[in-house]
Structure 1
Amino acid sequence: MTFLLGDISPAGGILERKVGDWQMIYRASSRNDQSVIKTYMEQGVASEQNETNAGCVSINGRDKCKINYRHSMIDRWESAGVRKVRLELYKEGELVAHIVFNGKSTTSTSWFSQENVISSNWFDLKENNNDEGNQFSFFGYRNNDIDRRLYINKNWKGGCSFHKGWMVVIESVTRGNGCNYEVFPSYPVFLYIPHSYADFIDDFKREADVLAISVIATQVNAL
């Protein structure tokens, strides 16, 4: 399967990244003090029209960009004819995790659900899960102390050391009140399990440096 390794197209003031029918619509860097949720949901932002830095659509975290890249198509989701959505995590330019979702009849956030999963490097994402702490949510789990987004978790019964899941975007944490695995000097942090099934976050987590979302749609570039 081919992932986001295609040409960057900055011609005519438009900055986009495409591979075949796939087009990147969002790209976030870790630890850049920019909320993934806030920048993704910020209506009216059209990074493809306003930025000329190719690093903004790079899959390598060493390629710097002052913003989280946001394509204007996110504001036109329902009319864009979205067929599939792909979320990818990269570390130093290497793909470390991915999920492909069915995008038909979804909104710009509802595509991120267990029922929409088509394929993934995690083979057990589609398994029935009634454990305490079961989460599969774009907006995730948030209170005054913790802020976990794009949160796919299997279990949290028993406390932090028993948290088992697949991935989570940590937007912030109140020191002393979050779990040890989510305390970092800066945010956001993209955590993932490196093998093909859910496992204990505290023991096996890895950190990606780029989060990318791309789509196959009929009207990505419609004005």
Structure 2
Amino acid sequence: MKTINIFSCKLPSKDLVVCSAHVILVAAWLVQIKHCQCQVDGVSQSTFKIVRGKRLASGVTWMRNISRQGLTLQRCAIACAVDCGMFEFNKVYNACIFYKERNYDIGITVSSDTDWTWAYKRRHTTISHGGWTLVFRAQAKIQVSAYETWNDTAATTDNPVQDSFPHACLRLVDYASCDRHFRSHIVDNWDNVDKVRFSLINNELEVAYILFDGVGSNRSSWFSQSRVLSSSWFNMRADSKVDIFDLFGFKIVPKLWRTFLIFGPKVICNLDKFYTMVIDQSSDSCLVFWDIDLTGYPSFYYSTEPDMGNLYTLFSADQHAQAEVLAVSVTFL
């Protein structure tokens, strides 16, 4: 019997019909293999991670459970609706238990039990925390500009989030191992946004925030003094001393670049006052006046005063501090 190399069939050939038939058979075989690899008991592994012989032990919030004769892993996966982050299935008792947490949440522990299968959603389209959708999360001092990442469509890291993306970089707690920024596709699809929350996080606590009206805004215009609804600083919206309130901020090449900037009048370094800013490059010409030791960028600074704080060393020792994480989250109409 003649052997035909299906990957090098040439025309014209008297064996064309045989060759084509072999190609079709092998293609169908490869599709079957791929299907088997992507499904576990009818559940897509691109949507769920299936872990047999494990069940949840602690750190999860019960939502509901179902139990009926003939219940399968596939039916449990279908029943894990939008609000469900993970579930466990018992093949002996035909039972499913559903939980709220996502795989990137902290404090989840599992135990071994051969009667149970644990499944959690993976490759999330978006990341949510407490009713807010995270659209941007910048990590301090990783030598990658926060503003350039915000503005870079190619830097998008969700829709879906890949399994290889560090969970620490999706969280606002337990993030010590994070080594990159997170950028949602929502930044480029800024539609039906209701509220925007700008947060600065340090030691896993929100140390400063601004809540903006996002209705009718775009990915830049939301960051505006006229859109401020509330803030951790007193009367920010009405503060007439604010001179710059801008995402791009203030840039003088190569001396400085301050982004996500809310600043007082630009006079001289030793008179500078501010609410918040990101030093978004490796140097700033005013650092010597501010007595700031810049050990990396981006660096997130905020006023610790009820309003704008002084940056000048002589009287600002306790008027500004650094944060570890900058986060932007939204709700929708």
Same fold (TM over 0.5): yes
Aligned partner of 1:56 in structure 2 is: 169
User: In the alignment, residue 170 of structure 1 is paired with which amino acid?
Assistant: I
Choose from 244, 248, 251 the match for 1:135: 244
Question: By how many angstroms is 1:215 displaced?
Answer: 0.2
User: In the alignment, residue 287 of structure 2 is paired with which amino acid?
Assistant: C
User: In the alignment, residue 328 of structure 2 is paired with which amino acid?
Assistant: I
Sequence identity (%): 24
Distance 2:299 2:241 in 1: 27
Choose from 236, 240, 247 the match for 1:125: 236
Which string of whole-angstrom CA distances, capped at 9 and with x for unpartnered residues, describes residues 54-77 of structure 1?
101121474323320011111111
Aligned partner of 1:210 in structure 2 is: 325
SS at match of 2:199: strand
RMSD across aligned C-alpha pairs, in angstroms? 2.2
Does the C-alpha gap of structure 1 residues 124 and 201 become closer, same or farther in structure 2, counting only changes over 3 Å?
farther
Distance 2:241 2:309 in 1: 16
Does 1:12 pair with 2:122?
Answer: yes
Question: By how many angstroms is 1:9 displaced?
Answer: 4.8
Aligned partner of 1:152 in structure 2 is: 262
Which string of whole-angstrom CA distances, capped at 9 and with x for unpartnered residues, describes residues 150-182 of structure 1?
11012333x21211110000012546x333235
SS at match of 2:280: strand
Choose from 135, 139, 142 the match for 1:29: 139
- Structure 2, gaps ≥5 residues long: 1-99, 105-120
Does 1:70 pair with 2:70?
Answer: no
Does the C-alpha gap of structure 1 residues 38 and 83 become closer, same or farther in structure 2, counting only changes over 3 Å?
same
Larger relative contact order (Cα-Cα within 8 Å, sequence gap ≥ 6) = 1
Contact in 2 for aligned 1:15/1:47 (Cα 8 Å): no
Question: By how many angstroms is 1:16 displaced?
Answer: 4.5
Does 1:196 pair with 2:306?
Answer: yes
Choose from 215, 222, 234 the match for 1:111: 222
Contact in 2 for aligned 1:8/1:15 (Cα 8 Å): no
Contact in 1 for aligned 2:282/2:296 (Cα 8 Å): no
Distance 2:239 2:294 in 1: 32
Give the paired residue count: 207
TM-score using structure 2 length:
0.58
Question: By how many angstroms is 1:127 displaced?
Answer: 1.9
Larger radius of gyration: 2
- Structure 1, gaps ≥5 residues long: 1-5, 219-223
Distance 2:296 2:179 in 1: 16
Does 1:169 pair with 2:284?
Answer: no
Contact in 2 for aligned 1:16/1:24 (Cα 8 Å): yes
Choose from 266, 281, 287 the match for 1:179: 287
Does the C-alpha gap of structure 1 residues 137 and 22 become closer, same or farther in structure 2, counting only changes over 3 Å?
same
